[in-house]
Amino acid sequence: MRRFLRPGHDPVRERLKRDLFQFNKTVEHGFPHQPSALGYSPFLHLMAIGTRSGAIKLYGAPGVEFMGLHEENNTVMQIHFIPDQCQLVTLLDDNSLHLWSLKQHSGASELREEHRFTLKGPPGSPPSATQITAVLPHSSREVLYLGTESGNIFVVEIPSFRVLEDRTITSEAALQRVPEDYCNRRSCELVEALREHPKNPDQILIGYSRGLIVLWDLQNNKVTHHFLGSQQLENLYWQRDGSKFISCHYDGSYTQWPVSSDNRQPEPLENVVPYGPFPCKAISKIYWQTTKNGLPYIIFQGGMPRASYGDRHSISVVHGSQQTAFDFTSRVIDFFIIFSSEPTAGFDDPSAMVVLAEEELVVIDLKSAGWPAVHPPYLASLHCSAITCSHHVSNIPLKLWERIISAGSKQNVHYSNMPWPIDGGTNIAPDPPQRDLLLTGHEDGTVRFWDASGVCLHLLYKLSTVRVFLTDADPNDNMNTLGEDEWPPLRKVGTFDPYSDDPRLGIQKIYLCKYSGYLAVAGTAGQVLVMELNDEDAEHVVDHAEADLLQDQEGYRWKGHEKLKTRDGPVRFEAGFQPFVLVQCQPPAVVTSLALHSEWKLVAFGTSHGFGLFDHQQKRLVFVKCTLHPSDQLALEGPLSRVKSLKKSLRQSFRRIRRSRVSSRKRRGGGGNASEVRGPPFGILSVQEANAKFDPDALQEMELAPVQRKIEARSAEDSFTGFVRTLYFADTFLRDSSRHCPSLWAGTNGGTVYAFCLRVPPAERRMDEPVRAEQAKEIQLMHRAPVVGILVLDGRSTPLPEPLEVAHDLSKSPDMQGSHQLLVVSEEQFKVFTLPKVSSKLKLKLTALEGCRVRKVTVANFGSCKTDDYSENDLAVLTNLGDIQIISLPFLKLQIRYPCIRKEDVSGIASCVFTKYGQGFYLISPSEFERFSLSTKWLVEPRCVVDIPEVSSNNHVHTRSGVENAARKSRAVKHWNWCPQARVVKCKLWLALLVSQ
């Protein structure tokens, strides 16, 4: 009967698997990719951001966040909260309106789409008749006023979206009694702005694009005032008491108009061009805020002199004699002011300005002197310099945590102390179970330390490695050194800076020991820095050592970049991680693997040429090993040899863009509609837009195109076989089964594993005797696939603990009685060998069976959600198809498989990191990490409540299917499309050049 045994059909195990494993995408960290709209509810204290891919994200107090996705994946053009409600309306670029609401469901609030609606004109009318340009949710909460391209204003009831035809405000009605000559000069054109009177809900202000503004009385259905503007209108703003309003214009001017019952057709009070007299850019939005001291805050977007500052993305704040033009790093999408919204308060008294720029969120404290920026607790721009690698460390000891925070707080002194002003909702999620750090390495040579414990990914500390090196850019050459009397008074704000001074500074590998505070960081030009945490500033010399990985090889010529020049003499480092030794690999190829053993005080590093071991206690190179195959010319020539493939991939991506542009045009039909006209000019945005719209059909089409693949066995002569993919320290039985010793393991791209026996002197003689190493084994996997992971299992088949883990009482001592086993993971197979004599014991040939290859592999500990005392170690594996598989240890049985990332999303797959407790992160765009969990026990997801102060009676009960529909939608797989990050930046650079020429 034994022959009928089939894998995976043990009911006990199946039940246990259900208690251990569960896949969830829990939260998106970072800054939304391609934001397109901003909304704010002063009532709920919630902010909403819409994106080009149809996502809508709500943020309140830290931990309070909601996410929804429009089924259409169309650009969100406008977001409006319904006054005093937990509801909001979005307008998409397909002219559809969507009503979303926050409803409580089993104790937590959820964001759901309730209704959708598209305004339809009478049969035969042109599409522009109903193309919505302005939306005004009326304070009665019963109707929306919808201004259109035709100049007509439609009234729809909410939440039913029934058009109240008898209340339509036609442009003809608005034009009645307008002087003949004015009327002739300019027709009404589209409705640019709709504003309700702050005191009288029966009056609304209507602004038409050619400059005419009318005050409309809703009770009597007629115009009460005409304001005959002479400039093309951009926006309108009521002053708090309703006695005046401001209009801003295309020519960079703003105009103040009086509203009184005496004059039905008043002249403007004043007309100002703040950055005149030369031609200026449009002022697209303006606030006029009153204060107790009488001096108003005038805050406006744009208006810069066209010729000299026309390229700036600015918002100016004017308060009496103070004036600052905040200069943003990317295009301003929209902004709002947080001010006293109490109807009883006499003044606006603005407290903060919240600006959504294309690449970051900036909040300015308007109450403190100097208007400093506020450090946002969420929406961090992960991509302020492109992310080049990530490293996750779970369960940080409190001491180290506090030291990192303290180092970070010293860097953030220029930020305002103001509490975060957007504080709606209540976070009811349990406190994070442990302190987790996510470290991201960036192209500009920085490492950012993120608090990844909870829902808000928060920057704790930023480490820069630049100070060690001499770079072309002089650090004193700051953009902010403008004199006092500079005009306009520009001030750079924000941190987004995708342009790296020197690509060689890029961080490639990070390893942090959480027990000792040692950090090793390695970069693009073969630099390996070992650092120690210091709570004080310090000035010291960084020791240098060279590791010549080519040693005995001759006749090779490195054609790649040079190593970075180092700064001579002592260097001043701020409190935090301070480098004390630099190991420079020669040739200075990118470091491809890194391992640190804080107990033995050793750091191992590998490149495409070989690997080396450095004793950072004695500051001495222990050994180097060249892994090059004599015929591996490519590895020697350096990154230049890959230029060809980069060029090719660029060409391909442009072809793809062109193709998708054609297809999206086809789908839109008529073309030339408002959304396209209003879209950004060709250049940076259209590339991203095209990528975002790159639909699955086009993809399908491409896949079926006649591409062919060569079938050839891997040979020893393949290029990059010497590329060191993985390094691993282990205290195990390498030589004989009676004595264990420290060892270093290295795996290469060509399927070779090297094992070195190390002799580390005991602590008391650590400085006196050298560390010795001797090669003990070399294993050549016959399938020659790249080795991506090496692991030693102890006598109980448990992976060996991390260095110092046992010393800190956080792990059981490894079992040194039973025999150890070696697990080698290649891209194609998992193999278990016995130790010390290497005999093959078990294998799982993943690629031969499933056609997928291993991209990432980590040991993860899975706890049971049913009982506290059961947990087991398994391998979490991400494949090149974007699937995640859990494979048991030590028997290598596939436990479960989840689709996670689209297989076309190469950057997403490349960016994935697993945590030690079965969670993970991967980039869904250059600026956002998706967090997922494979564990039933460790789940970090937003859980929050937004209280509805008053439940209004017209809240209808939606149908069950509606609920399910909405729930499905919010869970729907998000189709983000974007170029690999490096490529985005390059495209941008390139296109920017193109445009400027």
Partner 1 sequence: YCFGAEFRRFSLERSKPGKFEEFYGLLQHVHKIPNVDVLVGYTDIHGDLLPINNDDNYHKAVSTANPLLRIFIQRKEDADYSAFGTDTMTRKKNVLSNVLRPDNHKKKPHIVISMPQDFRPVSSIIDVDILPETHRRVRLYKYGTDKPLGFYIRDGSSVRVTPHGLEKVPGIFISRLVPGGLAQSTGLLAVNDEVLEVNGIEVSGKSLDQVTDMMIANSRNLIITVRPANQRNNVVRNSRTSGSSGQSTESSLPSSTPNILANFLQGEEESDEEDIVIEDSGEPQQIPKAAPTNESIESLTQIELLHESTQNGFLPSSEMNLNHSAGSISMEYEVQDPDHKSLEDGTIITL
Answer for the pair 924, 882: CB distance below 8 angstroms, yes or no.
no
**Shortest Å, Cβ 551 to partner 1:** 16
Binding mask 891-930 for partner 1 (x = CB under 8 A): xxx---------x---------------------------
The verdict on 3 binding partner 1 (CB under 8 A) reads yes
Residue type, 78: Q
**Pair 988, 978: CB distance under 8 Å:** no
Q: Could you tell me the two tokens for 852?
A: 């997928």
Q: Which is nearer to partner 1, 193 or 790 (CB)?
A: 790
Tell me the window of 205-213, 758-766, 886-894, 919-927 that interacts with partner 1 (CB under 8 A): 886-894
Do residues 754 and 820 make contact, with C-beta atoms less than 8 angstroms apart? no
* Integer Cα distance of 21 and 23 in angstroms: 7
Residues in 273-312 that interact with partner 1 by CB under 8 A: none
Angle of CA points 535, 540, 542, to nearest 5°: 110
**Which one of 184-192, 210-218, 239-247, 709-717 is the stretch in contact with partner 1 (CB under 8 A)?**
709-717
Residue with Cβ nearer partner 1 (645 or 997): 645
For the segment 853-882, give every residue that binds partner 1 (CB under 8 A): 853, 880-881
Q: What is the DSSP string of 882-909?
A: SEEEEEETTT--EEEEEE-S-TT-HHHH
Interface with partner 1 by CB under 8 A: which range of 267-275, 304-312, 373-381, 772-780? 772-780
Q: For residue 701, state whether it binds partner 1 (rule: CB under 8 A).
A: no
3-state SS of 925-973 is ECCEEEEEEEECCCCCCCCEECCCCCCCCCCCCCCHHHHHHHHHHHHCC
Helix or strand holding residue 678 (H, E): helix 674-678
Q: Which residues, 14 to 33, sit near partner 1 by CB under 8 A?
A: none
Identity of the residue, 129 or 838, whose beta carbon is nearer to partner 1 in the bound complex: 838
State in angstroms the smallest separation of the CB of 746 from partner 1: 14
Among the candidate windows 16-24, 174-182, 629-637, 890-898, which touches partner 1 by CB under 8 A? 890-898
Among 562, 851, 967, 992, binds partner 1 (CB under 8 A): 851
DSSP category for residue 799: B
5 binds partner 1 (CB under 8 A): yes
Closer by beta carbon to partner 1, 44 or else 724: 724
Tell me the two tokens of residue 441.
């390495």
Q: Residue 897 or residue 903: which is nearer to partner 1 going by CB?
A: 903
Cβ at position 830, least distance to partner 1 in Å: 11
What are φ and ψ of residue 2, in 5° steps?
A: -60, -25
What span, in angstroms and rounded, lies between the C-alpha atoms of 627 and 754? 9
The CB-of-940 to partner 1 minimum distance in angstroms stands at 33
Does 709 contact partner 1 by CB under 8 A? yes
Among residues 538, 842, 910, 945, which is the contact residue for partner 1, using CB under 8 A?
Answer: 842
Per-position x/- string for 732-761, each x denoting binding to partner 1 as judged by CB under 8 A, each - no binding? ---x--------------------------
The region of 7-15, 154-162, 389-397, 860-868 touching partner 1 under the rule CB under 8 A is 7-15
- Interface mask (CB under 8 A) for partner 1, residues 814-833, using x and -? --------------xx-xxx
Distance of alpha carbon 194 from alpha carbon 148, whole angstroms: 11
Q: Find the binder of partner 1 among 164, 816, 848, 992 (CB under 8 A).
A: 848
Residue 112 gets which letter from DSSP? E
Question: Rg (Cα) of the chain, in Å, rounded?
Answer: 31
Q: Given candidates 410, 714, 943, 975, which one binds partner 1 under the rule CB under 8 A?
A: 714
List beta partners, residue 50: 37, 56
Query: At closest approach, how far in Å is the CB of 614 from partner 1?
Result: 22
Round to whole Å and give the CA distance between 358 and 302. 15
End-to-end CA distance of the chain: 78
Distance of closest approach, residue 715 Cβ to partner 1, in angstroms? 9
What φ, ψ does residue 871 adopt, rounded to 5°?
-150, 155
- CB count within 10 Å of CB 747 equals 29
Residue of 74, 95, 151 lying closest to 693 (CA atoms): 74
522, 779, 912, 948: which one binds partner 1 (CB under 8 A): 779
Question: Toward partner 1, which CB reaches closer, 332 or 892?
Answer: 892
Interacting positions 791-810 with partner 1 (CB under 8 A): 797
**Whole-number minimum distance, CB 789 to partner 1, in Å?**
16
Do 926 and 933 meet the contact criterion of CB atoms below 8 Å apart? no
652 sits near partner 1 (criterion: CB under 8 A): no
Q: Which one of 344, 478, 817, 839 is in contact with partner 1 (CB under 8 A)?
A: 839
Are the C-beta atoms of 447 and 439 separated by less than 8 Å? yes
- Of 640 and 848, the one with the shorter C-beta distance to partner 1 is 848
Which of residues 37, 407, 549, 785 is near partner 1 by CB under 8 A? 785
What are the tokens at 213? 């503004």
> How many Å apart are CA 102 and CA 401, to the nearest integer?
36
Cα of 814 vs its chain's centroid, Å: 39
The size of the chain, in residues, is 997
**Choice between 99 and 832, CB closer to partner 1:** 832
Report the b/e string of 751-781 with b at 16+ CB within 10 A: bbbbbbbbebbeeeeeeeeebebeebbebeb
How big is the site for partner 1, counted in residues (CB under 8 A)? 61
Nearest distance, CB of residue 782 and partner 1, angstroms: 4
Nearest distance in Å: CB 561, partner 1: 32
Instruction: In whole angstroms, give the CA distance from residue 602 to residue 606.
Output: 14
Q: Is 184 exposed, middle or buried (0-12, 13-18, 19+ CB in 10 A)?
A: exposed
- Shortest distance (Å) from residue 832 CB to partner 1: 8
Binding stretches for partner 1 (CB under 8 A): 1-7, 9-12, 703-714, 735, 775-783, 785, 797, 828-829, 831-834, 838-842, 845, 847-853, 880-881, 890-893, 903
